[in-house]
């Protein structure tokens, strides 16, 4: 009889959880919850085994660090203090203190090395990369040259063990606008190359803006302990693969469950199950769902806007600005006739042999006018007077157009007037004027 009562004590309802005093993590085929005085274990979210613990460690504002192995590390939410859960006990492994300066920092564990990026505290947002290892039991800043990520908190993180790259994305900060604190989201994605100790911006996921500004969404939360990082609400659930530059909107996710259970508490990679929770401090309810039943089997893919495209745009813009500056700096005034002489070969290539003969005679007579009858004598004698006049008019117009096109000029370059001695006869010459010309005109392709 006493054994039966003892078993009843071990199996009971889910625990009430203080928002600041609990630890939740996957363990074996289920989930373990540690409160300030007890340890709970569940497989299905309905039945819980429980027992008292006598840890000396205060279960206060500790956050599980995402990791690919089974070792469970917890860091104080403001940074500094580090605990490890092993052999059914919680032990402190640092020689630091509670900083209270890295709230919302992104964290990741790689074997026995812990990383921490950014965060907020002491009225400042940070963008530095810190490392903790077990040898010296201290946090050290990794020197990262520019560029660095924006100063912000609430990143998402993803580690690629093949390349040893730590990807970070999204995040937010607050700034003062009109003497009021204003929330500002970020959508950039980048990566730390941990071996090279450099940061590289990759792109932007600003396609999230219309989803995050949807007025029908009641909440947005983040979850770092799935295979890829997740942000979710009662209407939308995105998982991110920063390495491939993609986000997946799980259109068949169990949004009915997310309406009731607004917290994703843990994920067990051994069983592919999620632990969800609701109203944990007052009337706690828990739900364990299989990954496929929770995320669904279909999703929509959104591509990251690559910084390479932005870089190309900047390069094109820079090139255009450079061309304008070169044109402005190298522009100088030259006589029209000198500009024509410099471009004589290009002009000749665009004229027929007859038109070039007329052009050459006009050029040789400069600065004097040459009359139409003298130019008409260039044509074959068997043409009638009227035909030669008509042909000359066409040639004069062609020469004018070709010179304008070659010099990038927008008005006529020829003076056509009545002769001074005989008003019935027309005369023509190149205009006596200066034009502003840049070296770029001479580099223009044929």
Q: For residue 376, what pLDDT is reported?
A: 81
Place of tokens 């709230």: 103
Q: What is the C-alpha to C-alpha distance for residues 73 and 97, in angstroms, rounded to an integer?
A: 16
pTM: 0.68
With 60 as the cut, is the pLDDT of residue 443 above it? no
Question: Between these two residues, 133 and 23, which has the higher pLDDT value?
Answer: 23
CA 234 to chain centre: 26
Averaged over 402-430, what is the pLDDT?
A: 83
CA 270 to chain centre: 34
Q: What is the C-alpha to C-alpha distance for residues 30 and 48, in angstroms, rounded to an integer?
A: 10
Going by C-alpha positions, the residue among 238, 232, 250, 251 that lies closest to residue 304 is 238
Q: For residue 14, what pLDDT is reported?
A: 84
Task: Kindly state the percentage of the chain with pLDDT values over 90.
Answer: 56
Q: Maximum CA pair distance of the chain?
A: 139
Task: List pLDDT tens digits, range 261-272.
Answer: 999 999 999 999
Average the pLDDT over each of 84-88, 194-198, 378-382 and give the range with the smallest value.
378-382
CATH topology of 8-305 equal to that of 331-443? no
With 70 as the cut, is the pLDDT of residue 2 above it? no
Q: For residue 325, what pLDDT is reported?
A: 61
Q: For residue 393, what pLDDT is reported?
A: 87
Question: Between these two residues, 438 and 24, which has the higher pLDDT value?
Answer: 24
Averaged over 391-414, what is the pLDDT?
A: 87
Q: For residue 209, what pLDDT is reported?
A: 96
Q: Does domain 8-305 have CATH number 2.120.10?
A: yes
- How sure is the predictor about 323, in pLDDT bands with cuts at 50, 70 and 90? low
With 60 as the cut, is the pLDDT of residue 9 above it? no
Task: List pLDDT tens digits, range 248-302.
Answer: 999 999 999 999 999 999 999 999 999 999 999 999 999 999 999 999 999 999 9
Q: Are strands 230-233 and 220-223 parallel, antiparallel or unpaired?
A: antiparallel
Going by C-alpha positions, the residue among 195, 205, 191, 101 that lies closest to residue 153 is 101
With 90 as the cut, is the pLDDT of residue 410 above it? no
Q: Is there a contact between 172 and 154 (Cβ–Cβ < 8 Å)?
A: yes
Q: What is the C-alpha to C-alpha distance for residues 217 and 213, in angstroms, rounded to an integer?
A: 8
Averaged over 386-405, what is the pLDDT?
A: 86
Which residues, including other chains, have CB under 8 Å from residue 423's CB and lie 6 or more apart? Answer: none
The fold of 331-443 is: Arc Repressor Mutant, subunit A (1.10.10)
Candidate ranges 61-65, 120-124, 360-364; pick with highest mean pLDDT = 61-65
With 50 as the cut, is the pLDDT of residue 32 above it? yes
Q: What is the C-alpha to C-alpha distance for residues 68 and 203, in angstroms, rounded to an integer?
A: 25
Phi, psi of 241 (to 5 degrees): -120, 90
Q: What is the C-alpha to C-alpha distance for residues 229 and 157, in angstroms, rounded to an integer?
A: 7
Q: For residue 1, what pLDDT is reported?
A: 37
Q: Is there a contact between 277 and 285 (Cβ–Cβ < 8 Å)?
A: yes
Average the pLDDT over each of 74-78, 294-298, 332-336, 364-368 and give the range with the smallest value.
332-336
- How sure is the predictor about 154, in pLDDT bands with cuts at 50, 70 and 90? very high
Average pLDDT, the chain: 86
Q: What is the C-alpha to C-alpha distance for residues 75 and 92, in angstroms, rounded to an integer?
A: 10
What residue ranges do the domains of the chain occupy? 8-305, 331-443
Q: What is the C-alpha to C-alpha distance for residues 222 and 239, in angstroms, rounded to an integer?
A: 10
**Neighbouring C-alpha atoms within 13 Å toward the C-beta of 213:** 8
Q: For residue 237, what pLDDT is reported?
A: 97
Task: List pLDDT tens digits, range 181-219.
Answer: 889 999 999 999 999 999 999 999 999 999 999 999 999
Q: Is there a contact between 257 and 287 (Cβ–Cβ < 8 Å)?
A: yes
- How sure is the predictor about 331, in pLDDT bands with cuts at 50, 70 and 90? low
């Amino acid at each position: 009889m006493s054994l039966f009562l003892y078993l009843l004590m071990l199996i009971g309802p889910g625990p009430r959880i203080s928002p600041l005093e609990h630890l939740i993590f996957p363990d074996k085929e289920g989930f373990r919850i540690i409160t300030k005085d007890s340890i709970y274990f569940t497989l299905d979210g309905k039945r819980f085994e429980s027992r008292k613990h006598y840890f000396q460690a205060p279960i206060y504002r500790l956050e599980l660090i995402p990791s690919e192995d089974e070792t469970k590390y917890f860091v104080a939410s403001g940074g500094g203090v580090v605990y490890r859960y092993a052999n059914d006990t919680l032990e402190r492994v640092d020689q630091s203190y509670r900083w209270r300066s890295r709230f919302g920092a992104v964290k990741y564990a790689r074997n026995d090395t812990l990383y921490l990026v950014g965060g907020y505290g002491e009225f400042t947002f940070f963008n530095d990369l810190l490392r903790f290892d077990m040898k010296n039991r201290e946090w050290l800043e990794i020197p990262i040259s520019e560029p660095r990520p924006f100063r912000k908190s609430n990143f998402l993180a993803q580690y690629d063990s093949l390349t040893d790259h730590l990807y970070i994305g999204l995040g937010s900060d607050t700034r003062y606008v009109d003497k009021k604190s204003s929330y500002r989201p970020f959508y950039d994605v980048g990566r730390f190359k941990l071996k090279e100790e450099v940061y590289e911006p990759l792109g932007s996921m600003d396609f999230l803006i219309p989803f995050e500004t949807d007025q029908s969404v009641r909440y947005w939360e983040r979850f770092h302990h799935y295979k890829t990082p997740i942000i979710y609400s009662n209407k939308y659930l995105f998982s991110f693969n920063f390495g491939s530059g993609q986000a997946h909107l799980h259109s068949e996710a169990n949004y009915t469950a997310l309406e009731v259970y607004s917290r994703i508490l843990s994920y067990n990679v051994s069983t592919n199950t999620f632990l969800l929770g609701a109203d944990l401090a007052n009337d706690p309810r828990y739900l364990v769902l299989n990954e496929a039943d929770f995320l669904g089997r279909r999703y929509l893919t959104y591509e990251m806007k690559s910084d390479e495209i932005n870089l190309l745009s900047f390069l094109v813009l820079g090139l255009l600005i450079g061309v304008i500056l070169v044109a402005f700096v190298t522009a100088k005034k030259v006589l029209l006739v000198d500009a024509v002489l410099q471009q004589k070969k290009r002009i000749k290539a665009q004229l027929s042999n007859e038109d070039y003969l007329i052009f050459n005679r006009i050029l040789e007579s400069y600065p004097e006018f040459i009359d139409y009858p003298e130019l008409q004598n260039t044509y074959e004698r068997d043409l009638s007077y009227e035909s030669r006049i008509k042909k000359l008019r066409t040639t004069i117009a062609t020469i004018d157009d070709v010179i304008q096109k070659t010099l990038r000029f927008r008005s006529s370059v020829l003076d056509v007037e009545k002769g001074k001695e005989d008003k019935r006869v027309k005369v023509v010459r190149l205009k006596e004027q200066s034009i502003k010309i840049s070296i770029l005109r001479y580099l223009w392709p044929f």
